[in-house]
Amino acid sequence: MPTVHEVTWSMLRDLGVTKVFGNPGSTEMPFLADFPSDIDYVLGLHESSVVGMADAYAQATGRPALVNVHTAAGLGNAMGALVNAAGAHSPLVVTAGQQVRAMLTLEPFLANADATMLPKPAVKWAYEPPRAQDVPAALARAFHYAALPPAGPVFVSLPMDDWDKPAEPGAAHQLAGRRIAGRPVPDPAALRDLAARVAAARNPVLVAGAGLDASPGGFDAAVALAERQSLPVWLAPNASRVGFPTDHPLFRGSLPSAIAWLSSALAGHDLVLVAGAPVFQYYPYAPGPYVPDGATLMMITDDPDAAARAPIGGALLGDPGLALALLGELVPLTRRPVPGRRAPVEVPTAPDMMTAGQVHEALAEVFPDDGVLVSETMNGGSVMWDRVKFRRPGSFYFCGAGGLGFCLPAAVGAQLASPERPVVAVSGDGGAQYGIHALYTAAERRIPVTFLIMANGEYGILKGFGSYLGAEGVPGLDVGRLDYEALARGYGVPAVRVRSVGDLTIALKEAVAAVDGPRMVIADIQPGVRLGA
């Protein structure tokens, strides 16, 4: 009779698992014992980095990634990163070891006391199998469920004494080869109605969300529809992925994320068509109309909850990429004028320092056609959207729920998923600390990510928020000049610090071209971050 351990690993292999992202503890040992030689254990030195790596890996491969962390404390450390993964609809199967079943009622040391409660609400399903022999079926369900729309993290608690128990007879055979095919297709009648509304609109606009990048073919479907209708295209505010090529003449930039700012950016449009994004991830609170006067809104989403909670407009349930492809076939060819755009780049006011806008301008110059950017900064964002060109799917990732600590690990995960594409991580000096352990994994495995740190010695954007909110005298906003060259060296990553645009461009070119391992470029930028700059 095969054991639970044997059946589980053979089923995981059958489901296409080639990597496990983890940080081990004693409660995980029996699961990790006799680790299969054909599966890669990606060690992260802290659970936030483990989940951050897996998050981008899952998004970039489009398949569930398996995470294994340590009982309650490890899962607790993972929570911030899990909130980001949930926001990005990243299909993660998160597992944690659990104490021996025979002792659970005693709440022993290292028990996960309320294992299925702890990861909520960041997971859409949390489970502890009732019996040892239910472990393989629970994990199979987790893999299918994580990928089903709306995709997202799920959690399975794994008691440590389950692994040497006999498996359910026939389990291996029954679970092998189960595949769930298909994507939700919108109701044809509702789609025809929407096509008629687009055709009748005087000045419609498309808002592209992260869901278009996650949907196979979504990027191309958005381009085809936008070109057919000459639709200007904005990115949804705080989008965790880019669902439209940013070098396209119809691309307008990223929408601001406050209610009033967003509706004024859309002034003049009478129909706002949102695909693959909630309506909307607003912040900060600047009350006003949700859409410009006289305009209507329609969203296309595969997330029933996003459809239900939108404050305005109608919703069409379905895969956003499939829906736009079908819509493109139903609407007439319409020509409209396409206005130009160019964001100004701020110049420094302090000597020997750059602005974040200049850093992004230099990055744009060296950023390869097939590059992938993982960003966790709002500093210089308008220049980034204007100059850095994302030309193909899977080119941009941003923390799905605004939690710092995503950027550095996610860049490592994205590079693991796409070894052939140059990956650059752009982070502030404050934000980089939350995922700094990713440098270890990058150095250890010679993963050639370029880590670009914008060093201003402060939580600059928070000072910007302070001014906006009228919050004077807030402590804890200056972090001082952290020695990133020494930090990088400590983790085994070569680093260079630059103070001028010329040196930055040279350093970035070298770092992006390097294939033998990671590099860090530290750009000294002047303090002072303005919201929306």
Ligand X SMILES: Cc1ncc(C[n+]2csc(CCOP(=O)(O)OP(=O)(O)O)c2C)c(N)n1
Binding residues vs ligand X (CB under 6 A): 80, 377, 379, 402-405, 428-431, 434, 454, 456, 458-462, 529
- β-bridge pairing 423-428 and 372-375: parallel
Q: Which does residue 321 touch among Mg ion, ligand X, none (CB within 5 to 8 A, set by kind)?
A: none
CB nearer to ligand X: pick between 321 and 380? 380
Question: Please, what is the minimum distance in Å from the beta carbon of residue 427 to ligand X?
Answer: 6
- As a whole number of angstroms, the distance between CA 378 and CA 380 comes to 6
What separation in angstroms does the CA of 400 have from each of 11, 27, 396, 431? 30, 30, 12, 15
- As a whole number of angstroms, the distance between CA 92 and CA 111 comes to 23
CB nearer to Mg ion: pick between 304 and 532? 532
CB nearer to Mg ion: pick between 241 and 463? 463
Please say whether the beta carbons of 47 and 78 come within 8 A.
yes
Q: Which residues pair with 205 in a beta bridge?
A: 272
Question: Please, what is the minimum distance in Å from the beta carbon of residue 355 to ligand X?
Answer: 11
**Binding of Mg ion at residue 524 (CB under 5 A)?**
no
Q: Of 302, 346, 376, 429, which one interacts with Mg ion (CB under 5 A)?
A: 429
Phi, psi (rounded to 5 degrees) for 214: -75, -25
Tokens 């729309």 belong to: 149
- As a whole number of angstroms, the distance between CA 339 and CA 352 comes to 37
Q: Which does residue 80 touch among Mg ion, ligand X, none (CB within 5 to 8 A, set by kind)?
A: ligand X
Q: Of 428, 435, 448, 518, which one interacts with Mg ion (CB under 5 A)?
A: 428
Question: Please, what is the minimum distance in Å from the beta carbon of residue 432 to Mg ion?
Answer: 9
Question: Please, what is the minimum distance in Å from the beta carbon of residue 481 to ligand X?
Answer: 11
Site for Mg ion in 438-497 (CB under 5 A): 456, 460
Question: Please, what is the minimum distance in Å from the beta carbon of residue 461 to Mg ion?
Answer: 8
CB nearer to ligand X: pick between 222 and 401? 401
- As a whole number of angstroms, the distance between CA 50 and CA 45 comes to 7
Question: Please, what is the minimum distance in Å from the beta carbon of residue 527 to ligand X?
Answer: 8
Annotate each residue in 124-163 with x if it binds Mg ion (CB under 5 A) or - if it does not, as one string: ----------------------------------------
Task: Quickly count: other Cβ atoms within 10 Å of residue 376's Cβ.
Answer: 26
Side chain identity at 88, as an amino acid letter? Answer: A
CB nearer to ligand X: pick between 266 and 359? 359
How many residues touch Mg ion (CB under 5 A)? 5
CB nearer to ligand X: pick between 61 and 456? 456
Exposed e or buried b per residue across 79-97, where buried means at least 16 C-beta atoms within 10 angstroms of its C-beta: bbbbbbbbbbbbbbbbbbb
What separation in angstroms does the CA of 299 have from each of 145, 151, 316? 24, 18, 6
Which chain residues interact with Mg ion by CB under 5 A? 428-430, 456, 460
